[in-house]
Structure 1
């Protein structure tokens, strides 16, 4: 992960120096890599790190509740943006779900259950369709990979997941029904050729992106040209958008195939490890795999790495998990000697 991250930093940093592309991603990435590489993680208790994760999940819910109830904001996440905030909540919810299933510490397990509930409530209050739709499937995948998947346990997971979805719908019925009705209305407008809705704007941006990619497939056209091209689009609501609302299309248009391959390598490298014999092997833990899967599916309709706080969360969270899991593997190998 450090090597692929460094390679991404060099490439995206060069595009900043050569043609003036935005430096935010590169700056944030190298800061996170330095943080992971230089902090003496062995001096931190594994349990304390887990407590930080679950408390963060709880505060996601508290923050969302404060915005929704006290500030009367009906789509929470105003501090950043509801869409990346939804992904932020979903990743912390996945961590809490994993700890609720696997932890033997009763206090940590209880806080993890609370953290999962709070983060999921915050997720629903963001009203972000894509992340909310994908999350239950990723959560079920995580649960099945975190246990010995016997037929009885698989059925239990499916039943618990189904009950959770039903209960969530019952609690947030009005909000969910309104969102479903609005989505159906947007689809009808798109079918009529009107692209002023959220779905229509995305379709228009994706179409423009696919045409723009052809201008420079290898290295992309850069930030300035892409953003100017979006501003020149005739639809006023489309022209106000800062990106293409798809990480894959946006990265291809800005940085070409080279940029997309480096970004993909950085994401996937969190599931790889280099052995003492310098061999590259898959080292897929259920939690890290679920986090990567959530990022990958969310990136179809959003640009997670356009938001620096998401770069911080993904890089540091996955990096710390790698350090913790590596510590467990060392202990296990020592006990076998």
Structure 2
């Protein structure tokens, strides 16, 4: 009987962990995986309602600041969608994780964190496999991947930075090797995809981590040198891809300085200019889908280029949030990005550095893309917050 109870307990714990496992694996395998993530979260919510009871869920809501912010974000997202035409996928992800945060038991959270090294290893293999398959097997231009390359590699950059962190703090040689291999695979996926913004993001996150490990935590600089050598080796093996991107960047730079803005970087500059013009007169809740009409008016007044009108967003998280969701939307974005720092200074827990690294990656990626407005990277980031920005108080109910 005890054995049966043990197996039953393990199965229930696995079911509670399933949305998190999916966020590190299936979520980045195909286009509509975020919809299946939503279904998993709904199933787990009702399982939690049955297993934990209503009072335990109320207790989670009271104790978890992230759940508060998620519920506010859900209400705000639903309001903007109904009034100005917001994103269904973003609302779906916010709602799913809000419900999931209400029932995810602290014991399960700690269990997931204790196995994080394996989740990161799985995620890195999936990342490099997906990108290699799209690039080499199907030979598809990254513009036509089933999941857009830039938000996808934001995920790759996040897991790479986490892998580097795990390599730093692991005391066992085996775990360090697994983490370094995971970091190399994640970095390879970014290099293969040739996404400059996410490569910059993971570089800044890695430098931040190295500085913290040396200055604050007095980690051995020899291991840092070994990590740099491993990363340099990955870069060398992918030298052809890196060289292609450097040459393309030089060509784009010369084109822009010659007045030709019809390049990847040039189009971004035009989008930023359009967004900046609209942001000069911010609103509380933003323009929603009406931002396209507002851009048309700016073009007719000669303030922005015609090329910037047709784009759905501004290839910048902060400008897009301010224009499309207003001051309230920008504050919501900043709340999600700054939450890890708040928890770190309040609890001084080294593991929260994982959330800070992910926040750094997303903050830098947000300069050239909208990772917190795309369902796949948004879901992954919120799962990271749920794991590392949840108070470690003991649940009264057990699973």
Shift of 1:166: 3.6
**How far does the alpha carbon of each residue in 1:254-303 deviate from its partner, in whole angstroms, 9 at most, with x for none?**
122222112211221233349xxxxx936562222111111111111111
Residue 92 of structure 2 corresponds to 27
Note closer, same or farther for the CA distance 1:96–1:217 as it changes in structure 2 (3 Å cut): same
Aligned pairs for 1:172-251 within 5 A: 172-222=238-288, 224-229=289-294, 238-251=308-321
1:72 maps onto 2:139 in alignment: yes
- Contact preservation (8 Å) 1:2, 1:33: yes
What are the Cα deviations for residues 207-247 of structure 1, in whole angstroms up to 9, with x where unaligned?
1111112344433222x111344578696754442210001
CA 1:113–1:161: 2 relative to 1, 3 Å = closer
Structure 2 partner of 1:277? none
1:258 aligns with 2:328: yes
User: What residue is the counterpart of 1:40 in the other structure?
Assistant: 105
Question: Do the aligned partners of 2:160 and 2:202 also contact (CA within 8 Å) in 1?
Answer: no
The answer for the alignment partner of 1:3 in structure 2 is 68
Partner of 2:167: 100
The question of 1:304 aligning with 2:374 is answered: no
For 2:85 and 2:142, locate their aligned partners in 1 and report how far apart those are by CA, in whole Å. 35
Change in Cα spacing, 1:310 to 1:154, as seen in structure 2 (3 Å) is same
Question: Which stretch of structure 1 is more off in the superposition, 26-35 or 66-75?
Answer: 66-75
Q: Hey, what's the Cα distance between the residues in 1 that align with 2:94 and 2:359?
A: 16
Aligned residue in 1 for 2:341: 271
CA contact 1:144–1:154 (8 Å) conserved in 2:
no
- The worse-fitting range, judged by mean Cα deviation, of 306-315 and 22-31 is 22-31
Cα shift at 1:164: 4.3
Change in Cα spacing, 1:282 to 1:263, as seen in structure 2 (3 Å) is: farther
> Does residue 1:12 correspond to 2:77, yes or no?
yes
Aligned length, in residue pairs? 320
- When residues 165 and 93 of structure 1 are mapped into structure 2, their CA distance, relative to the original with a 3 A threshold, is closer
> Any conservation in 1 of the 2:135–2:142 contact (CA below 8 Å)?
yes
Q: Which residue, out of 189, 192, 197, partners 1:130?
A: 197
SS at 1:300's partner residue?
coil
Cα pair distance change 1:283/1:265, threshold 3 Å = farther
**Aligned equivalents of 1:292, 1:60: Cα separation in 2:** 19
- Please give the root-mean-square deviation of Cα atoms over the aligned residues, in Å: 3.0
Deviation by residue 1:33-60 (Cα, 9 ceiling, x = unmatched)? 2213312241463433442232112221
CA-to-partner distance for each residue in 1:25-80, whole Å, 9 max, x for gaps?
A: 23211211221331224146343344223211222122223333322346599231
Would the aligned equivalents of 2:205 and 2:361 in 1 still touch at CA under 8 Å? yes
**5+ unaligned residues in a row in structure 1: which ranges?**
275-279, 331-337
1:110-164 CA distance string (max 9 Å, x none): 322221111110011110111112322311322443467577834752x345434
**CA 1:108 to 1:242, structure 2 compared with 1: closer, same or farther past 3 Å?**
same
User: In the alignment, is the contact (CA less than 8 A) between 2:184 and 2:234 conserved in 1?
Assistant: no
- Alpha-carbon distance between aligned partners in 2 of 1:184 and 1:94, rounded to the nearest angstrom: 27
The residue that corresponds to 2:33 in the other structure is none
* Residue in structure 2 matched with residue 86 of structure 1 by the alignment: 153
CA contact (8 A) 2:270 2:307 kept: no
Distance 1:99 1:162 in 2: 15
Distance 1:76 1:122 in 2: 16
TM norm structure 1? 0.83
Query: For the residues of structure 2 that align with 1:151 and 1:282, how far apart are their CA atoms?
Result: 20
Q: Contact 1:210 / 1:249 at 8 angstroms: preserved in 2? A: yes
Contact conserved, 2:205 with 2:357, CA < 8 A, in 1?
Answer: yes
In 2 relative to 1, CA 105–62 (structure 1 residues): closer, same or farther, beyond 3 Å?
farther
Structure 2: unaligned runs, 5 residues or longer: 1-65, 395-399
Q: Which of 203, 206, 209 in structure 2 is aligned with 1:139?
A: 206
